[in-house]
Amino acid sequence: MSGTITTLAAKLAEDTMKVMDETGNDRFFVEVGELLGASSQTLEEAFLTEIRVRLAERTARKFVVETLTEHRSKLKAIEKK
């Protein structure tokens, strides 16, 4: 059963993130979580975990990319001198 819950939560989180990106509603996952909580707290918890992991990864990846971009810009500036 836990495999089913994990699979469903992961797919729903992916789809929810797509809706959030397209609509710009960065709190849409809260609405989905509330809807899930009314019928399955287990799925709600798994879904919210999946969302938190994806949001954290997105934030970390943005930081990594920005740091590397800044580093490369500094290197180019040094090379031009």
- Separation CA 63–CA 57 (nearest Å): 10
The string of pLDDT tens digits covering residues 38-77 is 999 999 999 999 999 999 999 999 999 999 999 999 999 8
pTM here is 0.85
54: part of which helix (H) or strand (E)? helix 41-80
Question: Is residue 76 a contact partner of residue 36, using CB atoms and an 8 Å limit?
Answer: no
Spatial distance between the Cα atoms of 81 and 1, rounded to a whole number of angstroms: 62
Stretch among 5-19, 26-40, 44-58, 67-81 having the lowest mean pLDDT: 67-81
